[in-house]
Amino acid sequence: MTTFAYHRPDTVEDLHRVLAETPGRVELLAGGTDVLVGVTKGTSRPEAIIDLKRVEVLSSTLESHNGALRVGALALLRDLIDDDRIQRDFEALVEAAAVVGSVQIRNRATLVGNVCNASPAADTIPTLLVYGARVNVLGADGERTVPLEEFFTGPGTTVLRLGDLVTSIDLPAPTGPRGAAFDRLTRRRGFDLGTVSVACLVAPGMPTRFGLGAVAPTPLFALDEWGVLGPSAGDPAAEDRALAELAACASPISDVRGSREYRLAMLAVLCRRVLALARARLAGDLR
């Protein structure tokens, strides 16, 4: 049985003191849906677990802030799914959050925790990438903001340093009509991780954005650099070439959920599917 110390600090200063006094691995816990699974399975053997739910600078609120919707570090996935502003302006994020685990998981898991876990297959991250999400970090040197596409450094690793704390995620508010969509492929319905996941956002006057999951060591952000995957359907052959070029950034592995070849083939299918749905939603928004 794994044994560990348990701390529940009230302030950032208390958190830093515990980190300084604890040798070895430390796990930070918000919702705990990843941390506790790792401890239970023995894949994580921390010396200490630090519960963040009482830290004074962290909140569970969703509030407007400087032209963005700010999602607090303790906001649950269920909070996002039920929020009117998320449903109206970030529809694809609702689609992604709604397939994370089970109802019980979504009632405990936080959006910030899903991001900080840095799984290449995390469902919410492709949608956050296309929405231009920004990660707000409080560290020893003060506050800084990291664009989400620069946040991940490898499977399970990020730019966060010892003592850094993600306090919130900002979702820039829409400045005009847009359409976005998310879809994923899994081995079975229910709680399985995605074999491939894709988000897409289209808007007039800007390059179409794609977020790709489970096809590289980190989630990928890609733009339509060819200008042929815009709000309206164009030449099918040109679109096929552009999608093939876009998918070339992927470097999936073979594992129990799917082979490399299968993932690449399904990536092309999902890219076409979410692009079509995003275009349809944009057309409805424009009407």
Are 213 and 140 found together in one domain? Answer: no
pLDDT greater than 70 at residue 191? no
For residues 162 and 260, membership in a common domain is answered with no
CB 261 within 8 A of CB 161: no
Mean pLDDT value across the chain: 92
**Percent of the chain scored above 70 by pLDDT?**
97
Residues 36, 100, single domain; the answer is no
Do residues 215 and 267 both lie within one domain?
yes
Q: Are residues 214 and 143 part of one domain?
A: no
pLDDT of residue 161: 92
CATH code, 40: 3.30.43.10
Mean pLDDT lowest for which of 58-67, 119-128, 189-198, 245-254? 189-198
Q: Is residue 13 part of a domain?
A: yes
Strand, helix or coil at 286?
Answer: helix
What is the count of structural domains for the chain?
Answer: 3
Domain of residue 147, CATH code: 3.30.465.10
Which range, of 27-41, 109-123, 267-281, averages the lowest pLDDT? 27-41
Residue 261 — φ and ψ, nearest 5°? -65, -40
Is residue 253 domain-shared with residue 199, that is, in the same domain? yes
The pLDDT value recorded for residue 1 is 55
For the whole model, what pTM was predicted?
Answer: 0.93
Instruction: Indicate the pairing of strand 48-51 with strand 26-29.
Output: parallel
Q: What is the span of the domain harbouring residue 82?
A: 62-172
| Domain presence at residue 57 | no
Residue whose tokens read 């969703």: 62
Per-residue model confidence (pLDDT) at position 286:
66
Residues in CB range of 184: below 8 A, 6 or more apart:
96, 99, 123, 194, 195, 196, 197, 198, 213, 270
CB-based burial, 154-169: b 16+ in 10 Å, e otherwise: eeeebebeeebbbbbb
Q: Which residue has tokens 């954005």? A: 209
Helix axes 260-286, 236-247, angle to 10 degrees: 130
Q: Are residues 192 and 278 in the same domain?
A: yes
